[in-house]
Structure 1
Amino acid sequence: MRRSVTGHRCRTTAAVALVCAITVTAQGAAFGVPTPEPQPDRPTSLGEVRKKLDLLYHEAEVATDAYNAAEEKTEEQSTRVTALAEDVAKGEKRLEELKSRAGAAARAQYRSGGLPPEAHLFLSDDPQQVLNDVSLARQVQQGTTGLLVALTTTQKDLRGKAKDASDQLRKLEASRKAKANAQTKIEERISAAEKLESKLKKEELERLLAMERETGAEAQSTWLSSGIIKDIKREASAQGEKAIAYASLQIGKPYEWGAEGPNSFDCSGLTSEAWAAAKRPIPRTSQEQWRQLARIDINDMRPGDLIIYQRDASHVGMYIGDGSIVHAPRPGRNVTVADAGSMHILGVVRPDK
């Protein structure tokens, strides 16, 4: 029986507590007592912060590659549109000249009355002159035929160029839109990353940087322990040395998305400009560098070659020997020398093969 009473009291106490809680909540709502605002999802540890930052900066780098590709297409298409516009203008001028000549020929034929040569011969007092005129008329007729052919050809060519120009304008507009969309995405991701970092204390930022270095060092150690560097004994080519010299001179300059010097660089801006300085133009973006340049087995790598990183080829650095690269890391960082194996390696390409 006592056990039953105790249980009853416990249930009663719980019920009273529940009623009180409901009453307080209701009063709080009625009298405007502030309730905690829902907090946005945010990392709860430095490890999660680092993962979030890595994701944001990676997405920004992917968008930067898209921006650079769209910018390159925009420049090419703009040049093409300008050239086509000049061709169309020349074609229109040529067409007007041909129309003028065709009109003059038609008016001359009208003034002659359109009589056949036999009639002119019969009516003329100077048959020989008529025969000479007939010969000249045939030449004029042949010239008129050629004029009409030229007129038709020019009209057809002009229509083709006008259509080509219209198509290029549509492509140009699409490239400009893709460029603007990529720029928006870059700015959003970088802004989100900077906002996240701004909430960290100085000690947390230092610890975050230390974690980044530790992770990179572990990856480098694993890469080196495979013995791969022992097999890499090759020297840079003459052009490779020039590319390395250029890239090395940029150490300390800030990363800036879409930049290709001289005061700031993004990753592929640095490598493309370095090889341009070596008189060997290469594609502007890391993805196109991976797609178009000759791929090299990592055991055959030599200084000056480009190491492409991440599975989507979104980052690139230049190998300078001794297991190191020079690269432009990400927003907020400067061009620097780093361990070649500190990031996921997709492959190696050689610009001067």
Structure 2
Amino acid sequence: MNRRRRGISALTLICAMAVASAPGAAFAAPAPEPGPSKSLEEVRKEIEALYHQAGTATEAYNLAEEQAQRQSDQIVTIAKQVVATQQRIADLKNRAGAAARAQYRTGGLPPSAQLALSGSPQQFLDGADRLRQGEKATMGMLGELNTHQADLQKYAAEASAHWQTLEANRKAKETAKKEIEAKIAAAKALEDRLVAEEKARLLQLEKDDAYKKQAKWLKSGILKEINGKASPAGKAAIEFATKQIGKPYVWGAEGPDGFDCSGLTSQAWLAAGKHIPRTSQEQLRLLPKVAIKDMRPGDLIIYFDDATHVAMYVGDGAMIHAPRPGRHVTIAGAGSMPIKAVVRPDA
């Protein structure tokens, strides 16, 4: 962990030196040209907004996917209950049929009439006891049969409700998928209009913006207060996340070849033995929150007001995340985006 922290610190220092030493003209957005044309900085912000909207739709897609899977599992469970109940009803009907066949063999006389025709008092008493037992068993069998019939009706209603929810989630997924693809296509179209030199400058502007936000965050002195140590599970989660560095961002992906932001964090903690919610919004809603000053490596940082991005804190003011389409899993400054909250999977 110490080597990783030193590596992160060195990386932070190298980035800072690169920004400080590069020519100022390379970082400045060109002045807006006359007419409707946009500056490179305006293009960068527009692309950033499109990818943020794609990220919002991705989280909606992931949530619908998770809920659809849960509904599908519940439908399978109900189907198994239906089969077991049908088998029990068939067994009860077979027993009722056997009783009817036995009565037929006695000439159709009801048990009470057969009892009255018995030849001795003792036989009468023994028969009366058996009659009471038989009547009790019959009533129990009929009661059980009615209960199972009612269960079948309940299961049918539950299956119908789960199926409707499943269909609603499938439609939500399709809607989110179309929005994701449209936003990503729009962002790529903007980038494709740029020549190679402009693309390089656009990337530098993106790095500059992240660096300025990180520097402002560090300048607040927050890092002096953050001194928590990773738990054993947190170390395992960080180890998994660092092994994914360099893999591409793929929306809706949970590995092994690509990840989206919450796919990376959920799989990292799953590798550490902890199942956490799939989406950043659910991670925020369901996991215990901690103050930023109490943050420790392995904790998850939720970004933006709508909680549509998540990263894993790794110490020394750095985090690992899957940024957006067109980028790869990487280390970045923990304060390079607006922090909404910090949550701890193994609190």
TM range (shorter): 0.7 to 0.9
**AA in 1 matched with 2:205:** M
Counterpart check, 1:190 vs 2:184: yes
- Contact 1:295/1:350, CA 8 A, preserved across alignment: yes
Which residue pairs with 1:251 in the alignment? 245
- Say which of 143, 146, 167 aligns to 2:140: 146
> Which residue number corresponds to residue 214 of structure 2?
220
Q: Which residue of 2 aligns with 1:235?
A: 229
- Higher RCO structure, 1 or 2 (CA under 8 Å, sep 6+): 2
Moved more, 92-101 or 273-282: 92-101
* Distance across 1 between alignment mates of 2:226 and 2:70: 39
What secondary structure sits across from 1:348 in the alignment?
strand
Q: How many residues align?
A: 311
| TM-aligned CA distance change 1:89 to 1:217, over 3 Å | same
1:60: Cα distance to partner? 0.7
Q: Separation in 1 of the partners of 2:136 and 2:246?
A: 74
Distance 1:333 1:127, change over 3 A: same
Alignment RMSD: 1.8
In the TM superposition, residue 248 of structure 1 has moved relative to its aligned partner by 0.6
Equivalent residue runs for 1:72-87 within 5 Å: 72-87=66-81
- 2:232 and 2:116 mapped to 1: Cα distance? 87
What is the CA–CA distance in structure 1 between the aligned matches of 2:160 and 2:286, rounded to whole Å?
A: 29
User: Cα offset for 1:129?
Assistant: 3.8
Offset from partner CA, 1:255-302 (integer Å, 9 cap, x none): 000111111111111111111111122111111111111111111111
Letter in 1 for 2:267: E
Counterpart of 1:51 (choices 16, 27, 45) is: 45
Contact 1:293 1:350 in 2 (8 A): yes
Residue 65 of structure 2 is aligned to residue 61 of structure 1: no
CA displacement, residues 118-158 of structure 1 (integer Å, 9 cap, x when unaligned)? x5466455564454333322222111111111111111111
Report the equivalent of 2:169: 175
Q: Structure 2 vs 1, CA of residues 316 and 43 (structure 1 numbering), >3 Å: closer, same or farther?
A: farther
Distance 1:157 1:238 in 2: 47
Please state how far the C-alpha of 1:102 moved relative to its aligned partner.
Answer: 2.1
* Structure 2 CA distance for aligned equivalents of residues 220 and 126 of structure 1: 102
Question: Does the 8 Å contact 2:247/2:328 carry over to 1?
Answer: yes
Larger Rg: 1
Alignment gaps of 5+ in structure 1: 1-41
Measured in 2, the distance between the counterparts of 1:107 and 1:260 equals 61
**How far apart in 1 are the matches of 2:82 and 2:91?**
14
Which residue is equivalent to 1:286?
A: 280
Work out whether residues 121 and 127 of structure 1, in 8 Å CA contact, stay in contact via their aligned partners in 2.
no
Question: Which residue pairs with 1:208 in the alignment?
Answer: 202
Indicate if the aligned counterparts of 1:120 and 1:130 stay in contact, CA closer than 8 A.
no
User: Take 1:346 and 1:43, find their aligned partners in 2: how far apart are those partners?
Assistant: 34
Q: Is the 8 A contact 2:116 2:124 kept in 1?
A: no
Pair 1:257–1:43, CA change in 2 (3 A): farther
The separation in 2 between residues aligned to 1:115 and 1:306, in whole angstroms, is: 75
Contact 1:234-1:303 within 8 A present in 2 as well: yes
Q: Is the 8 A contact 1:43 1:49 kept in 2?
A: no
Matches of 1:61 and 1:284, distance apart in 2? 14
Question: What's 1:5 paired with?
Answer: none
Instruction: Name the amino acid aligned to 1:251.
Output: I
Q: What amino acid sits opposite 2:243 in the alignment?
A: L
